[in-house]
Amino acid sequence: KAGVTQTPRYLIKTRGQQVTLSCSPISGHRSVSWYQQTPGQGLQFLFEYFSETQRNKGNFPGRFSGRQFSNSRSEMNVSTLELGDSALYLCASSPSTREFYSGANVLTFGAGSRLTVL
């Protein structure tokens, strides 16, 4: 079974540009979450999607947005990039079982997209 696939793995942008990152969850998983990882702030929750609906959102400015498609693939977009947006962006998927909110429901992470803003 293929894991969580994130593309692109690396990208370099300049301030003011926008970027779109893609995440393909494990087949059959309908929940996708996004996290930002930086040396200073650590791992911070961005959003959570389930069945194309945003269920939860972290404390990030409106420049950060996301969406989920009917095939459960998800994208996140960052507009008007700032230097501080340089980070590893991690996507995680989880199954939509009866134990959706139980400890049995574990997030599986992708390898991340490394964004550098110059």
Partner 1 sequence: AQTVTQSQPEMSVQEAETVTLSCTYDTSESDYYLFWYKQPPSRQMILVIRQEAYKQQNATENRFSVNFQKAAKSFSLKISDSQLGDAAMYFCAYRKQGAQKLVFGQGTRLTINP
Strands of the sheet containing 64-68, edge to edge, are: 5-7, 19-24, 74-78, 64-68
Nearest distance from residue 16's CB to partner 1, in Å?
Answer: 27
Query: Does residue 110 touch partner 1 according to CB under 8 A?
Result: yes
Query: Does residue 45 touch partner 1 according to CB under 8 A?
Result: yes
Query: Does residue 101 touch partner 1 according to CB under 8 A?
Result: yes
Q: Which long-range contacts (CB under 8 A, 24 or more apart) does 49-55 make?
A: 49/74, 50/96, 51/96
Query: Does residue 112 touch partner 1 according to CB under 8 A?
Result: yes
Chain residues that interact with partner 1, rule: CB under 8 A: 31, 33, 35, 42-43, 45, 48, 50, 55-56, 58, 88, 90, 92, 94, 100-103, 105-112, 114
